[in-house]
Amino acid sequence: MTDSEAIAKLKAAMLSVQTVGEMHALIIDYTYVEIMEVYNQLAPKQQARIVALCDRDTQEQITATHTISVFMPSYLIS
């Protein structure tokens, strides 16, 4: 596979992700540098979609963590 084919495959994968977990899973097959290279090549609207997806999922994880810590005894959290 050529570099341009690999980049095209990564770009397609990045544009199809639906969760931040799927985005993080790309790091298994691609380096951070490769992911950022493709991200920087995306149109601003495509970049915004990825940022919104990551922000949404990160906020959900923070909320879930906070919810667990509110309802669980502190000795079970540590």
Q: Which long-range contacts (CB under 8 A, 24 or more apart) does 68-72 make?
A: none
Instruction: Provide the number of structural domains found in the chain.
Output: 1
pLDDT tens, position by position, 5-62: 888 999 999 999 898 888 888 888 898 899 999 999 999 999 999 999 888 888 777 7
| pLDDT at residue 58, rounded to an integer | 80
Q: How far apart are CA 59 and CA 61, in angstroms?
A: 5
Q: How far apart are CA 45 and CA 50, in angstroms?
A: 9
Domain that holds residue 18: 3-77
Is the whole model's pTM more than 0.75, yes or no?
Answer: no
| pLDDT at residue 44, rounded to an integer | 95
Residues 6+ apart with CB under 8 A from 6: 34
